Structure 1
Amino acid sequence: MSIHFVDSNVFYYHLLQDRTYGPRATGILNRIWEGENAATSVIVISELVSLFEFRILQARKRKDLSQTEKEYIVERFKEAIHALYRLITTLTYLRKLDCTPRDAFDAFTYRSKYGLNFNDALNVAIMKRNNISEIYSFDKAFDKIPWLKRKTH
């Protein structure tokens, strides 16, 4: 049985209960919870926490929101960070893959060849090194990679 890589947007849509993608993202994570082998990377974790922290900073600076609205948004993203930590530390069947200097060098090639952003290119390098050829993601950019099969459910 193959291992699927879990992209950041699966966690994002699950944690924020996105109306469009949230149910499918939750379904993916439930299958992993129940024993489906999967993997993600430290890059995915870093990307998500950085995004949530950025959203917190954005909310605090917004002048069009009341203090109560700002506090609500800030608390929602703070909770998302804590929920992500709980999720990645309790999903037993989710391997957490590291990033090597070689992955970073290879990412420059994938970035140029497939027009990916650098974090996606890093994750592609990590997947290649770990012989992972399937990814759970809602990001169509991964469709450009001939050896990688993207799944959304």
Structure 2
Amino acid sequence: MTAPAVLEATDARLYPARPILAASIAVFRDGRVLLAERVNPPAANCFSLPGGLVEPGETLEAAALRELMEETGVSARILGFNDHVEVLEPDPDGRIRRHFVVCSFVGEWLSGEGTTGPEARRILWADPLDVDHLATTPDLLRVLRSALRFFPARP
């Protein structure tokens, strides 16, 4: 068995009995949004908002801020709930291999420049409406457009 298959066989997030809850955050600083290039599936090698799984007993907001700090070393203040994203990945037999529901927030940058780590290969501060040249998660542009409503005079 190859290494990826071994990892897959032990990944409790595969073939879940129910959707898995996650949280993410669009952090804005000087009109730019923080993006992280994912290392792990789903959407490995794609830029997305920092985020991850909600732990038992953790609020959605706390999970978004924790994941932000763990992945990027950035801290932020949450401005509000933005949108949700559903990640549905069927296998070739039509069974649901992955199903995540990601609750996405909008935040205002407080500190940290952004650092890479085991979950984020690259970090960048991007124009939220100019991400077409990047490999991104499927719903990123929609979520970013929605997030801009928190900034009536566009940041």
TM above 0.5, yes or no, is: no
TM-score (norm 1): 0.29
Q: Give 1 or 2: higher helix fraction.
A: 1
TM-score (norm 2): 0.29
